[in-house]
Structure 1
Amino acid sequence: MKRILIVDDSELMCEVIKGALRGLEEDIVVFIATNPLIAIRKAGLFNIDLALIDYEMPYMNGLLLIGYLKEINPLTKIVMVSAYTEPGAQITLEALARGAIDYILKPSNKEEFEGFKKELLEKVRWILTGREFSRKKSKIEKDRPKVLSYLEGLKAGTPNYLVDKLRESKVIAIGISTGGPPVLEKIFTNLKKDFSIPILVVQHMPPAFTKALAERLCKLSQRQVKEAEDGEKIENGVIYIAKGGVHLAVEKILGKYYLRLLENVEKVNSHKPSCDILFSSVAEWYGKNATGIIMTGMGCDGANGLLEMKNQGALTIAQSKESCVVFGMPRVAIEKGAAEAVLSTDEIIRLLNEV
């Protein structure tokens, strides 16, 4: 039996969330706390598997509550119920850095309640069951020994196949979703100072959140990190974050590479921006002179585009199961044969710093 704790001072939101959770097939018990003090008491009495918490509440805010809940039980997974605003985005990114596993946007009106319930139900089901972790393990594990042989070369500092391919790259494309912001923080803050290959990132997030993410990554990494703009030239040493609600693609004009924002293209794999759109575009215009990395996230977005990149001769990497918050997107990519290597976050950083 899984224990879920809802923490919100709005009785309406508590009822909406509780109602959505009735759609779970799993055996659960739901506790409600209308303020953080009640939440702390209930977390001390019961072994909470998942806490869904608001930010603005009496006595203390949601960020402080994360610390108390993690102190009581480090294994408690936390999802922030966030406001769809730029301040809400900043708070959410800080919550993810402090240990929240994911977030969901609060509905701003009654018309959005059904969409909110559907998204909440999907995320809670994944978090509680880990269903994506259990399918087709044999093929993934079969591929692991080959990857480890590459890593031994990295550790020894000897000429290495992956390093050689990476050095041919004129761009690195990263597709990432659930659990992504802290991973991106770790990668960009640990890159060597003279790392010059431009990086394009699709992180599944709404518009206000991607701008806040770019600003946070810029501040923490002391690198040039910015939200992508339509038509801008891709420059060495710059990290571009795809704008929420708009697909990110590239094109080549007179030997130079430029960013394109595709506003009128529908969602792909339920996402906009989509990792598939970016990877496919990079495959078309960069060919073998590119690296694609697919990382933690739910679903299948990015797998087909990464396979296109591999077929064009690009280096393709999937994040390892052990280092993923959710081993969904990388798993699908591995099963499709799209990933040339499977590496942990630390191994990816080490590889990038070999260039």
Structure 2
Amino acid sequence: MLIVDDSVVARAVIARLIDASDRFSVVGAVGNVGAALEFLARATVDFILLDIEMPGVDGLTALPDLIAAGGGAKVIIVSSSVDNGGAATVQALAMGAAETLVKPTASELSARFGAALVAKLEKLCEHPGQLPPALVVRSTPSPLPGSYSPITQPAVSRSIGMPTTPLARRATGDDYDIVAIGASTGGIHALSRMFRELPSGFRLPIVITQHLPASFMPYFAAQMALLSGRVCEVAVDRLRIRPGRIVVAPGDAHLKCVRLSDGGAAFRLTHEAVASGCMPSVDPMLASLADVYGARVMAVVLSGMGRDGAEGARRIHDAGGCVVAQDQETSVVWGMPGAVVGSGVADAVLAPDAIGRLVASRRRA
């Protein structure tokens, strides 16, 4: 791997901690972005450890160029600037960083920090299998309907009961009524690519469960609003599902969809343990949407480690909905989408920009 850090001491200590792992090794350590680009022009690495605050070109500014020069290398931001909940963290992840880790002061670089860094590297090495050769991806995009009128915000109903039947299909000629997205490591970058393909007239509600701590969620929601050009809000209990909005799960609760007495739907926040061990988890979000919307759901599972979302995707599939998984080539970690593909419930396996075009078409894969 390559270390890019202007501190000579930090480069030496981090290299020693990594080399001590017996699994990873440092093949280059440079002090600025220019030297890093020169190194990557003649060498190949699997990981780039990148500091943000450096003289000349800073790490965030250089991130797109380093990702391109790295030829598939995963970039981990190792910097004191990526503190818990910091805007720089979400910005880095949205720009394509695979992970972030807070770098302590040079005097505090220790075996504990080294263990945390190696643990992140090990998780990013996860590759649970290849795409089954029999899977065929089909999609027939069609133009979006014309423009839509602004939607006023109805009052949130307090009369919430558990659904018994899916919401009735609307006579729109479209194939689904809501888009549900699950993601983890690498998901923010995939979301940014996906949202670039959605036109301003796309008004279907979008709900996202992204694995991030609660303190990150306001920054994440702001980033999604900026990328999508529409309102994005962190879910609160009993939040009504409305057209034209993006709702993201808070970092400390699951999202579950329930049916309202007036025929609409809302989210409840829950905190029960789930099989994946994630909080929030993609599985309860997808499973509850399958109960309420039935075949009218498009579920998208993006890059992330582990299997969260695989069971929920099966529920969507069994209810007649559409399930789309990110392809292995563009995933930072193909754990979550790979588990969906491996279970045989994916209707399409696509790169994020192609997923965005499919979602915009409002047609099934």
TM-score category of the 2 structures, normalised to the smaller one: 0.7 to 0.9
- Aligned residue for 1:5? 3
- Residue of 78, 102, 117 corresponding to 2:98: 102
In the alignment, does 2:266 pair up with 1:258? yes
CA distance in 2, matches of 1:245, 1:115: 26
Correspondent of 1:51 among 19, 43, 48 = 48
Deviations 1:191-245 (A, max 9, x none): 1222222111011122232221211221232211222222211111111112223
CA contact (8 A) 1:51 1:79 kept: yes
Task: Decide whether the 8 Å contact of 1:226 with 1:241 is kept in 2.
Answer: yes
Give % identity: 28
Distance verdict in 2 for CA 1:60–1:350, change over 3 Å? closer
Count matched residues. 332
1:180 is aligned to 2:172? no
Q: 1:25 aligns with which of 1, 11, 23?
A: 23
Tell me the alpha carbon deviations over residues 288-322 of structure 1, each in whole angstroms, 9 at most, x when there is no partner: 23221111222211101111121122222222233
C-alpha displacement of 1:74: 4.8
In terms of fraction of residues, the more helix-rich structure is 1
**TM norm structure 2:** 0.75
Comparing 68-77 with 234-243, which one deviates more in the overlay? 68-77
For residues 243 and 166 of structure 1, what CA distance do their matches in structure 2 show? 33
Relative to structure 1, the CA distance from residue 310 to residue 69 in structure 2 (aligned partners, 3 Å threshold; closer, same or farther) is closer
- Aligned mates of 1:309, 1:292 — CA distance in 2: 7
Q: What amino acid does structure 1 have at the position aligned with 2:347?
A: E
Contact 1:21–1:121 (Cα < 8 Å) also in 2: no
> Residue 142 of structure 1 corresponds to which residue in structure 2?
134
| 8 A contact 1:172–1:198 mirrored in 2 | yes
5 Å-filtered alignment, 1:276-315, equals 276-315=283-322
Q: Alpha carbons of 1:115 and 1:248: their partners in 2 closer, same or farther (altered >3 Å)?
A: farther
Structure 2 contact 126–305 (Cα < 8 Å) conserved? no
Deviation at 1:37, TM superposition (A): 7.3
State the secondary structure of the residue aligned to 2:75.
strand
Q: Tell me: CA distance 1:194–1:311, structure 2 relative to 1, closer, same or farther (3 Å).
A: same
Q: Would the aligned equivalents of 2:4 and 2:32 in 1 still touch at CA under 8 Å? A: no
- Give the one of 212, 219, 240 matched to 1:205: 212
Check whether the contact 1:5–1:48 (CA below 8 A) recurs between aligned residues.
no
2:151 aligned partner: none
Asked whether the 8 Å contact 1:8–1:14 carries over to 2, the reply is no
User: SS at 1:125's partner residue?
Assistant: helix
Which stretch of the first structure deviates more once superposed, 15-24 or 266-275? 15-24
Q: Deviations over 1:233-288 (max 9, x none)?
A: 111111111222322222223133111222x4346524221111211222233322
- Conserved 8 A contact 1:7-1:14: no
Distance 1:337 1:278 in 2: 20
Structure 2 CA distance, aligned partners of 1:290 and 1:166?
14
| 2:74 corresponds to | 77
The one-letter code of the counterpart of 2:117 is L
Question: SS state of the match for residue 26, structure 2?
Answer: strand
CA contact (8 A) 1:53 1:79 kept: yes
After the TM superposition, which residues 85-234 of structure 1 pair with which residues of structure 2 at under 5 Å, given as runs?
85-86=84-85, 88=86, 90-98=87-95, 100-106=96-102, 120-125=117-122, 127=124, 129=125, 131-132=127-128, 135-137=129-131, 140-144=132-136, 147-148=137-138, 151=139, 153-154=140-141, 167-234=174-241
Tell me the equivalent position of 1:247.
Answer: 254
How far is 1:85 from its partner? 3.9
Compared with structure 1, are the counterparts of its residues 39 and 185 closer, same or farther at alpha carbon in structure 2 (3 Å cutoff)?
closer
Q: Which has the higher contact order (CA 8 A, sep 6+)?
A: 2
User: Is this contact kept in 2: 1:165–1:315, CA < 8 A?
Assistant: no
Structure 2: distance between partners of 1:323 and 1:173: 20
Q: What SS class does the counterpart of residue 296 from structure 2 fall into? A: coil
Aligned-partner SS, 2:135: helix
**How large is the RMSD of aligned CA atoms in angstroms?**
3.7
Partner of 2:356: 349
In structure 2, do the counterparts of structure 1 residues 39 and 299 end up closer, same or farther at CA, with 3 Å as the change threshold?
same
Q: Could you tell me how far apart the structure 2 residues matched to 1:101 and 1:226 are? A: 23
The worse-fitting range, judged by mean Cα deviation, of 336-345 and 326-335 is: 336-345
Give the direction of change, closer, same or farther, for the CA distance of 1:260–1:10 in structure 2 (3 Å limit): farther
Quote the Cα distance in structure 2 between the aligned partners of 1:36 and 1:323: 24
Could you tell me which amino acid in structure 1 is paired with residue 180 of structure 2? Answer: A
**Structure 1: how far apart are the matches of 2:16 and 2:98?**
18
2-structure distance, mates of 1:114, 1:246: 33
Change (3 A) 1:56 1:194: same
Distance 1:55 1:240 in 2: 30
Change (3 A) 1:166 1:341: farther
SS of 2:353's partner is helix
Alignment partners' CA distance in 2, 1:304 and 1:115: 35
